[in-house]
Amino acid sequence: MARKIRDIMTGSPTSVSPELDIVTVARAMRDEDIGAVLVAEGDDMKGLVTDRDLVVRGLAAGGDPKEIKIGGLASSATATIGPDDSVDRAAQIMRERAVRRLPVVEDGRPVGIVSIGDLAVEKDSASALADISAARPNT
């Protein structure tokens, strides 16, 4: 039987206000050693921002990074998954939506994030992606 998302997800996702600037969010991502944050107002999830979004949509666009608000960079979180859904279901959604991360939502609130790397470690622990995803981060 396939494992459930709750078994492989990263719990307690970091959420940030859409009003924060990208420098503040980038520092939080560095300090917490994470590659994505949820953008939320209270329990209302507005979207997701990755480290790549900070560069491609934020810094590369020009302007003062301390003035660019994270809410303007967020990808809308149209695809989510529940903690009791299967790993296979997450892979299916990621393929269909061409996304690498899915917010995990329970009772309307974000409770985690599952990444393509998490799936690789679970489904094929001998793959190159699984090795990279399981490795300690570069510092």
pLDDT tens digits for range 23-76:
999 999 999 999 999 999 988 899 999 999 999 999 998 989 999 999 999 988
**pTM strictly above 0.75:** yes
Q: Are 71 and 39 in contact (CB under 8 A)?
A: yes
Residue located via tokens 């899915």: 102
H-assigned helices in the chain: 5-8, 22-32, 51-53, 87-97, 116-123, 128-134
Domains of the chain: 5-134 (3.10.580.10)
Where residue 130 falls among pLDDT bands split at 50, 70, 90? very low
Q: Which of 13-22, 37-46, 122-131 has the lowest mean pLDDT?
A: 122-131
What is the average pLDDT score of the chain?
88
Average confidence (pLDDT) over 83-102: 95
Average confidence (pLDDT) over 123-133: 55
